[in-house]
Structure 1
Amino acid sequence: MEITPNASMIIDVSDAVAVVLAAGAGIGISPTYVAAPYVQRGELVPVFPEFAVDRFTITALWPESRRGSPNVKAFLEFLQEIFPAPTPWDSLIEVVRDVHR
Structure 2
Amino acid sequence: MSQQKTDDWFTYTSFLASSARAGIEESVVVSSHRLIEALRRLLELKPELKSDPFFAEIDELLVRSTSAAYFKSPEKFTDFLDEVLQRFAEEARARNGLD
TM-score for the superposition, normalised by structure 2:
0.29
More helix by share: 2
Please report the TM-score for the alignment, with normalisation by the length of structure 1: 0.29
Rg larger for: 1
